[in-house]
Amino acid sequence: MEDALRSRRSVRAFLPTPVPRSTVERLLALASRSASNSNCQPWQVHVVTGAAKRSLTAALLQAQSGDDEGRGQERGRDYAYQPPQDGWREPFRTRRRRFGESLYRDTLGIRAGDTAARLGHHRRNYDFFGAPVGIVLTTSRHPLQGALVDAGLFLQALMLAARGEGLDTCPQASLIDFSPVLRRHLLIPDDQLIVCGLALGYADQAHPLNQLRTPREPVAAFTTFHEDPAE
């Protein structure tokens, strides 16, 4: 488990090597052992591969380009995933900026003002970064916000189980910007909240993107111990 935690990272370049359905099913079965409030297990999983994945990718790219007939109707998240661009507070604003610099400037060599190049990289989200397996995670709306906690536990378990199989993943919030497209293609009912996407496959270790490593804050920075006073 420690190895899985230490080696897990968000991979943004995958090999086309197929992942057998039996492997995906085994990973999902392991992830289903996650804790959930009163054992409600509110999660649902949609797995796309092959032609289904290509069709979904094409629809997402079309919507992202604004070429769809509905235009604005194809955009929208099911929940407020994050603040607006100018709404980030410290220390999150600085951490987010440093990540962006590490990804675009240091790893991809894209200048801050090169909007076209940044958009080109962002669009790779909608092909699940080339991964052979795309996953969309949803959860029931009925358990309210607790279902998002349960879904998060399931997602983390799935990513760690994947590492145990020598696979890599990338959780993707960008997909939920086009929740109507996901609902239409995957027949997701309205009583399901679309949580996020997940790319699953074998990392392309030679790709520069997979050399990126993000830092973590030390335990002392986010932990307060409440203990008995010293004798």
Strand, helix or coil for residue 231: coil
Overall pTM surpassing 0.75 (yes/no): yes
**The pLDDT of residue 66:** 78
> How confident is the model over 127-182, as pLDDT tens digits?
999 999 999 999 999 999 999 999 999 999 999 999 999 999 999 999 999 999 99
**The pLDDT of residue 74:** 81
**Could you give the CA distance from residue 32 to residue 155 in angstroms, rounded to a whole number?**
10
**The pLDDT of residue 68:** 52
Angle between helices 146-164 and 21-31 (to 10 degrees): 130
- Cα-flanking dihedrals φ and ψ of residue 51, to 5°? -65, -35
**The pLDDT of residue 113:** 85
Q: Where are the beta strands (DSSP E) in 6-152?
A: 43-48, 133-140
**Could you give the CA distance from residue 38 to residue 60 in angstroms, rounded to a whole number?**
36
Residue 124 contacts residue 103 (beta carbons within 8 Å)? no
Residue 57 contacts residue 127 (beta carbons within 8 Å)? yes
Query: What stretches in the chain show pLDDT beneath 70?
Result: 67-72, 231
**The pLDDT of residue 198:** 98
Per the structure block, which two tokens stand in for 175? 């997909």
**The pLDDT of residue 112:** 83
Which of 207, 216, 5, 218 minimizes the C-alpha distance to 95? 216
